[in-house]
Structure formats: C-alpha cells, structure tokens
Amino acid sequence: MSDEWWRDAVFYEIYVRSFADSGGDGLGDVTGIRARLPYLRELGVDALWLTPFYPSPDADHGYDVADYVDVDPRFGTLADVDALVAEAHELGLRVTIDLVPNHTSDRHRWFAEHPEYYVWTEEPNNWPSHFGGPAWTFDAARGRHYLHLFAPEQPDLDWHVPAVEDEFDAILRFWLDRGVDGFRIDVGHVLYKDPELRDEQEPFPETPFADWRRAVDRPELHPLYRRWRALADSYPGERMFVGEVVLSDPRRIARYVRPDELHLCFNFTFLYEEWDADRLRATIDGTLAALAEVGATSSWVLENHDVTRLATRYGSLRAARAAALLLLALPGAAFLYAGQELGLGEVELPDEARRDPIFRRTGGERIGRDGCRVPLPWSGDAPPFGFTTGEPWLPQPAGWSGLTAEAQAGDPASTLELYRAALAFRPRGGGLDWRASPPGTLVFERGELLCLVNVSAPALDLPEGELVLASEPGVTTVLPPETAAWLRRPVPSYDRGRSARP
C-alpha cells in the first residue's frame, strides 16, 4: 500500500556546504547536518533535500560530479551519509539527494575513458551556455567541440547512448540500496538534446525558463522517467523523484508528473512571480488546473540556492513572512530553503568574496548566486555564528546577530517561530476553494482553515473565526498590507456561498 507521503510533504533544502560545519574547515558537512537533525525535527519539516555532496572539483559547487557513488572527503564519508539517513529516519525525516544526470565534471573518469558518452560536434551551433558564452568548447586532443549547457567543466552527457542510461540505473540503485527516500533531478528537462543539433532561434530571450529552447523538453525523457519510476517502485517505502523542470507552461510540466513518471516537479512560475495578488492567483490557478488534469500534485517553492532570497526579492521581510503563510497553505508539497525560516535576506558580497562561476565567467556582468548561499547563522553575536570554528567559505554579515536560530528560538514574534507554528498547523489533503475578496488580497479555504493574504490592499478585515496564526504580531481584527493570517472555520459571515471572483 502506498501512502504517497510526498504529496503534501514539506521538504527542506540543505545547501550542504553552507549548513553546518563539524570539521572547522569553513565548509558545511554531513556530520554537521546530523548534529542539526533535532532542529529540523522541531521545525516540523517532513523531508530533506541535500545538494550534491559527491566528489567534485567544484567548478559549480558540486553540480560538476566526478563520482556519483561516493562522498567528497570535505563533506564526509559514505558511512556518514548512512548514519545521517538512519538518524533522520529515526526522527521521522525522509532524506532525498541530488541527482545530476545532464552533465558530469570534466574530471569524471567517463570523460577520459568514455568520450562516446558525451555530445560532440565538428561544427558548433549557436546554443548559449546558461553561465554565459557559447555552449561548446574545443577539445584540442580530440579535435572536436563538446557540449556544455553550463560551465565548460560540465560536459553534457549524450542520453541517446544506451550505456549512459545503464550507468544511471546503477547509480540510482546504489543510493536506493543505501536507503535514500528519493532524488531531486537537476535540470530534468534537458537531458536529451535535438539529435540534429539545430540552431536555436535568435535573439535569445532573457528568461530563466526553457520554453523557447527547441532542443530540450524532448519526448525521449518520458520513457526514461518511466524506467526510473519503475526502478524506484521496485524498492519498498515509496521512493520519489522531484524534477527540476524549468518550464513556465504548467501544461508542459504536467506531462512529467504522472503516476508512472515523476512524483513532483518544482513550480518555478510561482517562485518567479511578483508579489502581486492577481499574478499569484493566476499562477496558482494555472498550476492547479493543469496538474489536476493528470491527477498530480504541485510543489510550491519560493527560495532555493539559485535565486535571490525572498525577503530581498519581495522588498521586505514582512512580505516574505506573509508569503510563508501563503506557501504553506497551498495544497500539495512545499520546498523550503535553509535560512528561509530565519528570514535571511540576500547578502551583498564584495566582488573578491564571490565564488559563483557565473560571476567569473561573465566577468562580473552577472552577479551570481553567492548572496543566497552564505553559511547559516546558528548562535552567538558575531560571525561565524556557530556555523564553524574556522572561517566560513563565504563571509557572513555581522548584522545577522539577531537572526541566529538561537536568538529567534522561543521568541513568538520571530520568523523561526512563525515557520514552526505554520508547519504545525499546516492543512494537509484536500483542495483549495477561493473566497471573494477585495483587489490586492487572496482569500481561500483549505479544509477547516481560511487563509487570508493582504498583498497590497489598504486593509483586509478578518471575518469571524479563531485566529490560528498571523504573519505579524498584534494582528487581531484587520490585516494591514503585506500580512497574512490563518483562521479556523466555521466562518459564517465571510462570503460563504459566493463564488470566487473572476
């Protein structure tokens, strides 16, 4: 019997090198995570997603994997990961890990021993790299160009080669045998490329979404994901896949989340949406409608290790806190990114401290993703805030002293306690019913909870009902702009029976 635990689970993304350092080298590690499992249990999340901890030369901070079935000594050992999985399971936390199947490191032994696993050409087309510049690099030894949709140190595998599929079956089995509960699939929409390597149409649009790329989102992906699903389903315990499928059209995403394919796909339209009630509602509705058609569930996300922290993106911590109550009231799975629960903002780093390859490769033209990857502040009044006994790999701002987990714990007005309470009261199961509400606001029912979000209206009166949670202290009868609340029904006076606004 399947319990489909992933359908409304809350996942917590751990950017491993920035979470907690046990060894004093300034890089987070697996033992550091183990020591913080009670914190995660108390926070109330259901599952963890660990970013890559495999041996890697670090051209893209672990997303250039040199060995898929080992642990980088800087992060620990296989035995440490086994212990982490066992201890997490004891606490009722599932553990999912990052699978990076589109590309390897150029130092993976396959690149030397199996060049036929990769995509080569004598005549490069016009494809751009996500990290700036062309997606092709000339390999003088082989007299041909190899493809890399990301950094030159991340050559793309040729998934049309059957041996590549077999290699990854073995990798999946290796980790499933060790007891992991699932995988997050890195850039899960791009594995197979147009075999004719035709040019993309120029000019290339400025968008994080790949809808415009003709070379990706190909039909060959679906048999592969059916194969992976069948493989995972042959293991006990409902193992799962969440796809990083960076498409903006929810109907295209819906083709991946099927009972025999991926369990979940991140919802990036929600993440990239402005803090605007109409736009958020349109995204929520579009997603729910497209996924309902295939019986799938959405996974809502507002932060990860690639995007500007929410409080900075929305312009205020107050808006980010309101958004937390929106995120955690939506039906389906939700993903939090470590530090989101502390209300951390994007860190402005000096150029010399920046480490992201995007910054280096674009000559500073694109600022990169370091600002959301700064190591977490756990305790104390000054850097390194209990993260390490050494020097954190990215510098932490001194101004974080009031934002440490220690400083926030037990303070009912803190963002940490807001997340803890929201995770404790979060509705599960069932759908969402919109209620009529003034412009600039979002109001919907989830079972016995009514979720009210005032994005930008002058004020939103709270109807009758028991106030379960408010995003700001002091809210009693009226929600000011950039606040949200959860009320417990029955709510007799609030627009009951009226249909949602058009």
The residues of the shown chain that bind ligand NOJ, judged by CB under 6 A, are: 60, 63, 100, 150, 186-187, 244, 305-306
Name the minimum Å distance from CB 388 to ligand NOJ. Answer: 22
Distance in angstroms (rounded) separating the CA atoms of residues 256 and 264? 8
- Closest residue to ligand NOJ in the complex (CB): 63
DSSP 185-237: ETTTT-SS--TT-PPPPSSPP--S--TT-TTSS-TTHHHHHHHHHHHHHTSSS
If the CB atoms of residues 305 and 435 are measured against ligand NOJ, the closer one turns out to be: 305
Asked whether 372 and 307 are in contact (CB, 8 A), the reply is yes
Asked whether 385 and 394 are in contact (CB, 8 A), the reply is no
Task: Please give the helix or strand (H or E) that residue 326 lies within, else none.
Answer: helix 317-327
Name the minimum Å distance from CB 242 to ligand NOJ. Answer: 12
If the CB atoms of residues 150 and 419 are measured against ligand NOJ, the closer one turns out to be: 150
The sheet that has 136-139: what strands, in order across it? Answer: 120-121, 144-147, 136-139
Name the minimum Å distance from CB 55 to ligand NOJ. Answer: 16
Per-state percent for the chain, helix, strand, coil, to nearest 5: 30, 15, 55
Name the minimum Å distance from CB 52 to ligand NOJ. Answer: 9
Name the minimum Å distance from CB 386 to ligand NOJ. Answer: 26
248 bridge partner residues: none
If the CB atoms of residues 349 and 460 are measured against ligand NOJ, the closer one turns out to be: 349
Name the minimum Å distance from CB 63 to ligand NOJ. Answer: 3
Asked whether 71 and 30 are in contact (CB, 8 A), the reply is yes
Q: Give CA separation, 150 vs 116, 183, 373, in Å.
A: 19, 21, 19
Main-chain dihedrals φ then ψ at residue 484, nearest 5 degrees: -145, 160
Active site includes 29? no
If the CB atoms of residues 151 and 423 are measured against ligand NOJ, the closer one turns out to be: 151
> Could you say which of 8, 64, 244, 261 is catalytic?
244
Active site includes 461? no
With 0-12 CB in 10 A as exposed, 13-18 as middle and 19+ as buried, what is 295? Answer: exposed
Among residues 134, 159, 136, the alpha carbon closest in space to that of 146 is found at 136
If the CB atoms of residues 149 and 432 are measured against ligand NOJ, the closer one turns out to be: 149
If the CB atoms of residues 181 and 186 are measured against ligand NOJ, the closer one turns out to be: 186
Q: Convert 190-199 to b/e letters by CB count within 10 Å (16 or more is b).
A: bbbbeeebee
> Could you say which of 21, 186, 341, 445 is catalytic?
186
Residues annotated as catalytic (active site), given as ranges: 186, 244
